Chain A
């Protein structure tokens, strides 16, 4: 599994999670992976079911929404220059400083199961999280996750 060039934003400067979600969502819409209403759906979901994870040394967010908003399953990626705050998954009041975002476009439960599990394995490794925050190109990103995502 590779993250496509068009679906990765490296060292993004963003002021809010909404800005990041809109930018990544637009990439997915432009490339035809998801439906027009995907961004709105993602933003709503993030309020009801937050996706910030308190991983070390930086938080990671895995925004996603219902499968019926998705044409083809894939993953979009953003690394941020400065963290933005996401609500922590499983809470409605705890904030996490997030510097890595993997936006999941998933059509069905069994889709990309292996990819999802590998991705979760990656972000549980603090060294990998540090490296991902520092990567400078999509090529380097894919080299880093090669065999792992």
Chain B
């Protein structure tokens, strides 16, 4: 089971929207059984980001964890969604 973290500044607003969309996408792509979703705020997760296999964020993250994090803003604007999901899929499928 891969651990997928969705985070935003407050852990209640945009991460909720992103979570809803990602859940639906996982279902549509038959990946629900492979992934467990976690929702949180950035400030709570910075120190333990390596515990997750995939990380989506709608807010800026510190440089030292930047490479690990996929930008989730496309799910809010509707622009660049396919490219974003390809990154998520690659991380889920990574051995």
* Contact pick for A53, options B15, B21, B73, CB 8 Å: B73
CB neighbours of B8 from chain A (8 A): 49
* Contact pick for B79, options A54, A66, A67, CB 8 Å: A54
State the total of A-B contacts with C-beta under 8 angstroms.
70
Number of chain A residues close to chain B: CB under 8 A: 30
Q: Which of B28-36, B44-52, B54-62, B86-94 contacts A (4 or more CB under 8 A)?
A: B54-62
A120-B76 contact, Cβ under 8 Å, with A49-B8, A90-B71: yes
A65 to B14, CA, bound (A): 11
A49 to B57, CA, bound (A): 11
Does A113 make an interface contact (CB < 8 A)? yes
Instruction: Report which B residues bind A (CB closer than 8 A).
Output: 8-17, 20-21, 39, 42, 57-60, 71-73, 76-79
